[in-house]
Amino acid sequence: MNSQMRQFTENLARKFISEKEYEQYKNIPFYDEGHGYDLFGFEKESGLIGFAIVKYLYLHYFRVESFGHENIPKKGRGMLVSNHSGVLPIDGAMVAIDCMKKLDPPRVVRSVVLRFFMGYPFVGTILRRVGQINGMKRDFEELLRREELTAVFPEGVKGLGKHFSQRYKLRKFNVGFLEIAIQEKTPIIPTCVIGAEEQAPLLYNLKPLAKILGFPYFPVTPTFPHLGLLGCIPLPVKYRIYYGEPFHFYKDYSPEVVNDPEKVRELVEVVRGAVQDLINKGLEARTGIFV
């Protein structure tokens, strides 16, 4: 954006958020590398308009409830490690808005986004402008060195494309996040999202069509593809987000532990178990999908 467009965007966003929210957002640390962007393409004005728009979905469509904010560091580096589901990565957006609204002071969540989404024209640019990054290790490490709060979804695309019959059963976690957390001395906060599994129940994956189109999956849901683009609208499920007690593995293990695949996998399973425990407790506490 040029300076005029930035001012217009800021004025527009202020019509949809409170003055307190605006002042809190403006005070969030921002590392401008020149021309209004940080090293990864984050533009504060784009993040502000994104917050103003997605906040409506957070409050009125998904009606998000959240618990355990005391487990998230108020400042400094941190890594939210969460389950991932729902065909479209709306769960990550709800976690980001939740940390903006519920943390004091509010924090921007820098999510690691699948390269599949980052590679799309316009989509990738928009994601970068609102603060998200791709899965490159050096970007992830640099964010933590800048004391940012990050979010990672170790199930990857297998979580998003999970069949409805496998809902809330975690897939195998990738191990990269654990290695980076130990090397960069970063607390891991197990996180879970309840509700996303039902927003677009995946009944079938048309793998041949997905391969032709270059997609990781081609979902068939109760509304897509037979309702066309309308079928992409998620169901108005109620979201619940839980943040568990953090792990500080770097205090107990030296950076050299990443060279021990068995120990790394063992620690990853500890985190995976903690996320699954949060999911189980959240499901037990839930009284309905939509209410």
Domain positions in the chain are: 64-199+234-285
CA dist 291 and 168 (Å) reads 18
Cα angle at 60 between 58 and 62, to 5 degrees?
Answer: 55
Asked if residue 67 lies in contact with residue 95, where contact means CB atoms within 8 angstroms, the answer is no
pLDDT at residue 213, as a whole number: 82
The two structure tokens encoding residue 161: 């494309």
Q: What is the mean pLDDT of the chain?
A: 92
pLDDT at residue 243, as a whole number: 98
Cβ-Cβ contacts under 8 Å for 93 (sequence gap 6 or more): 54, 57
pLDDT at residue 108, as a whole number: 94
pLDDT at residue 193, as a whole number: 97
Check whether 115 has a pLDDT greater than 80: no
Q: 131-144, pLDDT tens digit by residue?
A: 998 878 888 999 99
CA dist 64 and 244 (Å) reads 17
pLDDT grade for 123, boundaries at 50, 70 and 90:
confident
Q: At what angle do helices 137-145 and 176-183 cross, to 10 degrees?
A: 40
* Predicted TM-score (pTM) above 0.75: yes
pLDDT at residue 59, as a whole number: 96
Q: Calculate mean pLDDT across residues 218-223.
A: 92
Q: 205-220, pLDDT tens digit by residue?
A: 998 888 888 888 889 9
In order of 20, 46, 132, the CA distances from 34 in angstroms are 27, 15, 18
The two structure tokens encoding residue 155: 């199930």
Asked if residue 241 lies in contact with residue 282, where contact means CB atoms within 8 angstroms, the answer is no
For residues 190-201, one letter each, b for 16 or more C-beta atoms within 10 angstroms of the residue's C-beta and e for the rest, the string is bbbbbbbbbbbb
Q: 165-212, pLDDT tens digit by residue?
A: 999 999 999 999 999 999 999 999 999 999 999 999 999 999 888 888
Q: State CA 86 to chain mean position distance.
A: 12
- In the numeric block, the tokens 């839980």 are attached to 242
Q: What percent of the chain has pLDDT over 70?
A: 99
